[in-house]
Structure 1
């Protein structure tokens, strides 16, 4: 079974337009991984008979669909961390799966890596 991961860009002092811009840049990098899709996250369910998106996207938040049976969550987290390191300070990215959120920064410290590794293991299928 596939899973959806929410990836939300946070930058202190940024407006919605800036967060959308940052999310689109990150989206391009995530699409280079082995994921099914990366789209702007829309809150709520689409009503029956609705053709278009119709729901408001949340600024800076992406929905990443992981392919079934693949252990790509680790790759997604690696791309996010690399992007953060290159993009300068003042940004964080919140990655959420099944209601469990981890907040990533550009810091390359060993403690954050241990937390990330444990979080990814928790959400990676053992048979995958």
Structure 2
């Protein structure tokens, strides 16, 4: 996407405390696959590996940059997909969505609480 109305959101998946790096990688791959069905571009997140490191750290594994059109209601659909994905997971995972330094944290809250939070975020960035 190279249109001037393109926005980017950094998604950071945080698995519950019982998950290891392998589980986080598996969760991140499932989330990427589901997001790949949307009208968004999935971009890599640059990772700076320390000297001698053999792989990415858990924060990098669970991070994904998403580029989408600011027009056409793509962002609310993205947020709905994230919310639905979280609802289908067995663990108490959360996803942090950051746009222009503004972050919202999606997790297993009541439907009303999540909707209130998402509506406020969408109004600022949708």
TM-score (norm 1): 0.77
Give the Cα–Cα distance (whole angstroms) in 1 for the partners of residues 94 and 70 of structure 2. 27
- The alpha carbon displacement at 1:79 in A equals 0.4
- The alpha carbon displacement at 1:115 in A equals 1.1
Note the residue ranges of structure 1 that are not aligned, 5 or more in a row: 45-55
* Aligned Cα root-mean-square deviation (Å): 2.0
- 1:5 corresponds to which of 1, 4, 9: 9
Q: Secondary structure at the match of 1:3?
A: strand
Aligned residues, how many? Answer: 112
Structure 1 or 2: more helix by fraction = 2
1:97 match: 99
Structure 1 residue ranges (4+ consecutive) displaced by more than 3 angstroms after TM superposition: none
1:24 match: 29
- 1:83 corresponds to which of 62, 82, 85: 85
Asked if the contact 1:11/1:91 (under 8 Å) is kept, the reply is yes
Structure 1 or 2: more strand by fraction = 1
